[in-house]
C-alpha cells in the first residue's frame, strides 16, 4: 500500500509512516476486509465510502500538518482519515451527519487509544464555529464550490483541502489558503467523492 502511495505522489515520510502503521482493516466492514490494503475506495454503509489510501495520503500531505496543528474534519465516515490526522496533529475536531457511522468511528478511536479527537454529530457544512479558528480543515465530500462558512473558520495562513464539483467524473481537489481577509486557491488533482450535503437532523436522529 505504501508503494501505491509513493506512486501516487505522496512523499511526506511522516504521512507514509502513519498510514503504514495504522491498521486499515479495523475501519473496513467485514465483507470487504480482503481488500483492506488495496488502493481502492470501499463502501462503509449509508451511501458513504472509505477513501483510497492514496487519496487519504495526498489530502493529508497537502494539509502540511505539524504536532501543534488544530484540525477540523468534515465527514468522519469510518474514522480512518480522522485517525491519520490525529496521529499527525495536536487535536482533531470531526463532524459526521450519520450517527451510526459516528458511533462506530468513536469505538475505533477508543480501540486505537486515540484520545485527541473530539466528535460531533451534525451538519458539517456549518463547520464548528465554537472551536474556530483552525489551522487545517479537510472536507471528505465534494462541494459545489468552496464553502464560505468553512473558509471563514480558517486561521491566518490556514489550509483547507476540499473536493470541488457536482459530478464525480469531474471533481478536483482544491487547496485553499487564508491570506488576511482573502484566500488563494490551487487546483491539485482529480478525485471522486460523495457529495457534501447538509444533515437532515430529523432523519439522522432516528
Go through the domains of the chain in sequence order and give each one's CATH number: 62-204 (3.40.50.150)
What distances in angstroms separate CA 6 from CA 21, 34, 118, one per listed residue? 15, 22, 30
Q: Is 197 helix (H, G, I), strand (E, B) or coil?
A: coil
Mean pLDDT of 168-182: 86
**pLDDT for 172:** 85
Reading the block at residue 187, the C-alpha cell is 487546483
Q: In this structure, what are the phi and psi dihedrals at residue 140, rounded to the nearest 5 degrees? A: -105, 30
51: annotated active-site residue:
yes
User: Is the whole-model pTM more than 0.95?
Assistant: no
Within 112-154, residue ranges assigned H as helices are 148-151
Mean pLDDT, residues 54-72 taken together: 96
Reported confidence tier of residue 169, pLDDT bands at 50, 70, 90: low
173 Rama sector, left if φ>0, alpha if ψ -120 to 50, beta otherwise = beta
Residue among 108, 139, 116 at smallest CA distance from 23 = 108
- Mean pLDDT, the chain, rounded, equals 91
Task: Please list the residues that pair with 185 across neighbouring strands.
Answer: 176
How far, in Å, CA of 191 to CA of 54, rounded?
A: 10
Q: In sequence order, which residues have a C-beta less than 8 Å from that of residue 154 and are 6 or more positions away?
A: 133, 134, 135, 137, 160, 176, 178, 183
Q: Which pLDDT score, from 0 to 100, does residue 167 have? A: 67
Q: Evaluate if residue 194 carries a pLDDT over 70.
A: no
Active-site residue (options: 51, 83, 89, 136): 51
* Sequence-ordered list of residues with C-beta below 8 angstroms from that of 15, at least 6 positions apart, any chain: 5, 57, 60, 61, 84, 88
Q: What is the pLDDT of residues 87-144, one digit of tens each?
A: 999 999 999 999 999 999 999 999 999 999 999 999 999 999 999 999 999 998 888 8
Amino acid at each position: 500500500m505504501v508503494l501505491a502511495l509513493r506512486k501516487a505522489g505522496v512523499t511526506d515520510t511522516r504521512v507514509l509512516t502513519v498510514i503504514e502503521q495504522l491498521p486499515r482493516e479495523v475501519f473496513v466492514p467485514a465483507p470487504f476486509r480482503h481488500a483492506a490494503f488495496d488502493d481502492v475506495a470501499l463502501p462503509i454503509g449509508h451511501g458513504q465510502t472509505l477513501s483510497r489510501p492514496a487519496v487519504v495520503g495526498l489530502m493529508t500531505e497537502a494539509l502540511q500538518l505539524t504536532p501543534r496543528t488544530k484540525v477540523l474534519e468534515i465527514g468522519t465516515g469510518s474514522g480512518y482519515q480522522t485517525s491519520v490526522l490525529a496521529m499527525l496533529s495536536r487535536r482533531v475536531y470531526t463532524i459526521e451527519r450519520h450517527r451510526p457511522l459516528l458511533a462506530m468511528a468513536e469505538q475505533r478511536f477508543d480501540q486505537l487509544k486515540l484520545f485527541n479527537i473530539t466528535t460531533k454529530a451534525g451538519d458539517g457544512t456549518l463547520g464548528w464555529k465554537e472551536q474556530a479558528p483552525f489551522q487545517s480543515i479537510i472536507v471528505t465530500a465534494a462541494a459545489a464550490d468552496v464553502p464560505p462558512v468553512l473558509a471563514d473558520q480558517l486561521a491566518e495562513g490556514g489550509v483547507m483541502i476540499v473536493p470541488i464539483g457536482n459530478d464525480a467524473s469531474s471533481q478536483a481537489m482544491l487547496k485553499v489558503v487564508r491570506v488576511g481577509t482573502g484566500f488563494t486557491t490551487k487546483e491539485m488533482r482529480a478525485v471522486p467523492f460523495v457529495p457534501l450535503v447538509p444533515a437532515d437532523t430529523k432523519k439522522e436522529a432516528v
